[in-house]
Amino acid sequence: MLRTLYNVLWYPALPFALVAAGTHGKQDRRERMGRPEFAPDSGRPRIWIHASSVGEIEAIRSVAHGLQRDLEGARIVVTTMTPTGRDAARRRIPGAEVCALAPLDCPAVVRRFLRRVQPHLLIVVETELWPNYFIEAKRAGARVAIVNGRMSKRSAARYRRARRLFAPALNAADLILAQTADDARRYARIGVARDRVVVTGNTKFDLERAGEETALRPDLEAFVAGRRILVAGSTAKGEEAVVLDAWRRLSESFPELTLVIAPRHPARAPEVEELLNGASVPFARASQIQNSPTTARVLLLDTMGELRAMYTHATVAFVGGSLFAGRGGQNVGEPAAVSVPVLFGPYHENQLQMASALVAAGAGAVVRDAGELADACARWLADERARAAAGELAHATAHKAAGGARTTLHHLRRLALA
């Protein structure tokens, strides 16, 4: 009954859903209504990968590349909930035949999408539990897998309350590849058979990718040369002000320290620019630096795809989405992988396994405000031997956590060929 009501309510809500989903233009509307530009053919495996946005694209990209390598001739269709995710998919999974906005989760639209794509395998990344994707894909004959599965205590409680709605979807999954044992237990508690849940680790960081794309473009390389740098990566609303306050405190003892701020969403760059202007802080924008020499000690990294390379030049890193409740933290493994000590806020539940390991190793620390962020940075900035040792421990911790993508690929390959 709940699922029937859910589906019926979608139809009058479709125009509003199109607006809320960030749909603009004819092509976007076609994609939301399940009409991607794709013509299936016989004899070649077809894989539908659904990810929410940029972070989930990063989590699945090495797996997608592996599937294309191991399943000869595989045709991959990637869908995302956001246009920025779609753009990231086009850049980061260049072998995908189609990167499109996700179809709206109502039966008629999903069935239309499935008739076009005819997938043999549906891969859903992390926590995107859209009931009709699972149910209709299974009904159409596809194998269904959740990859990098994550289930927080709060999510588990919510799914238990709506168990009658989500149980058919979860039961349609052939395989759930969970990040941690805790995630696996929570899936089991909401009714997923234990023999369909496997702990594979987090695919978001894998050693095969650790050395990729570490070269900055020449103008940014010139900016960072010879500097000690605090990189504040993937920051969310409100965090830039905290980071700026901490940097100003640090500047009293470390006047040479440069700050790089990389908002999680580059569209927020004007907001961060306004903050910096309001604080009378001279700064450069990465999108406008163009080999021009600058004495500014703050860089606004307002471009996509350059944070990973910037981390390789960091002295210390702060990873955002973690100072305030609601986001769960961004990828702390990226700076750790390149031997950079890592700081993050108390709300890092989406990164709990790696974050806890970094703290336990002495390679990371939890900070709650500008004072704690400045104090933690100062301890490493004042003692280069201690900072270098923490960086080595960060790298070792990331190395130990690697392998999630390889293990995930092994299970997906078996499922696709079954």
391, amino acid identity: G
User: Could you give phi then psi for residue 114, rounded to 5 degrees?
Assistant: -65, -35
Handedness of CA 34, 40, 42, 47 (dihedral sign): negative
Residue 97 lies inside a defined structural domain of this protein:
yes
Does residue 35 lie within any of the structural domains? yes
Question: Which residue has better confidence, 406 or 76?
Answer: 76
- Beta strand extents in 280-344 (DSSP E only): 284-285, 298-300, 316-319, 342-344
**391, 409: one domain:** no
* pLDDT at 293 (0 to 100): 63
Express as a percent the part of the chain with pLDDT over 90. Answer: 66
Q: What is the mean pLDDT of residues 197-206?
A: 83
Question: Residue 233 belongs to what domain range?
Answer: 218-401
Distance of alpha carbon 343 from alpha carbon 219, whole angstroms: 27
243-246: long-range pairs with CB below 8 Å, 24+ = 243/318, 243/370, 243/373, 244/275, 244/276, 244/279, 244/281, 245/370, 245/374, 246/370, 246/371, 246/373, 246/374, 246/377
Give the CATH number for residue 391. Answer: 3.40.50.2000
Phi, psi of 145, deg, nearest 5: -140, 140
Report helix, strand and coil shares of the chain as percent, to nearest 5: 50, 15, 35
Give 24's pLDDT tier (boundaries 50, 70, 90).
Answer: low
Please report which confidence band the pLDDT of residue 137 belongs to, taking 50, 70 and 90 as the band edges. very high
Confidence of residue 12 (pLDDT cuts 50, 70, 90): very low
* Same domain assignment for residues 280 and 367: yes
Task: Answer with the residue of higher pLDDT: 113 or 293.
Answer: 113
286 with 167, same domain: the answer is no
305-334 mean pLDDT: 94
pTM here? 0.70
> Is residue 286 in some structural domain?
yes
Question: What confidence category does residue 2 fall into, taking pLDDT thresholds of 50, 70 and 90?
Answer: very low
CA gap 352, 367 in Å, rounded: 15
Q: Residue 305: pLDDT band by 50, 70, 90 thresholds?
A: confident
What pLDDT was estimated at residue 18?
47
Q: Are 246 and 314 in the same domain?
A: yes
- Same domain membership, residue 394 and residue 408: no
Same domain for 407 and 394, yes or no, is no
pLDDT 10s digits, 385-415: 999 999 999 999 988 877 788 899 999 999 9
Residue 33 is predicted with a pLDDT of 94
pLDDT of residue 32: 94
9 lies in some domain: no
Task: Report the share of the chain in percent with pLDDT over 70.
Answer: 91
pLDDT tens-digit readout, 256-275: 999 999 999 999 999 999 99
According to the model, what pLDDT value does residue 14 have? Answer: 44
| Predicted confidence (pLDDT) per residue in 54-65, tens digit | 889 988 998 999
The verdict on 131 and 231 lying in the same domain is: no
> Mean per-residue pLDDT for 74-78?
94
In a domain, 61, yes or no: yes
Same structural domain, 149 and 290:
no
The pLDDT tens digits of the residues spanning 204-220 come to 766 455 445 568 999 99
Residue 22 reports pLDDT greater than 60: no
Q: For 323-355, how does the pLDDT look when each residue is reduced to its tens digit (9 = 90+)?
A: 999 888 998 999 999 999 999 999 998 888 889
Does residue 181 sit in the same domain as residue 278?
Answer: no
Q: What is the CATH number of the domain that holds 83?
A: 3.40.50.11720
- What mean pLDDT comes out for the span 102-106? 93
Note whether residue 14 is domain-resident.
Answer: no
Domain contains 5 = no
Same-domain check for residues 199 and 223: no
Q: Are 110 and 144 in contact (CB under 8 A)?
A: no
> If DSSP codes are grouped into helix, strand and coil, which group holds residue 342?
strand
- What is the predicted pLDDT for the residue at 15? 45
Residues 140 and 239 in one domain: no
Neighbours of 212 (CB within 10 A): 10
Mean pLDDT score of the chain, rounded to an integer? 89
Report which residue type is found at 282: P
Collapsing DSSP states into helix, strand and coil, what is residue 98?
Answer: strand
| Residue 201, in any domain of the structure | yes
Map residue 369 onto helix, strand or coil: coil
Q: Based on the domain organization, do 224 and 336 belong to the same domain? A: yes
Asked whether residue 238 carries a pLDDT value surpassing 60, the answer given is yes
Find all residues with CB under 8 Å of 46, minimum gap 6, and list them.
40, 74, 75, 76, 77, 117, 118, 119, 120, 121
Domain count, the chain: 2
Give ∠ CA 253-258-259 in degrees, rounded to 5: 110
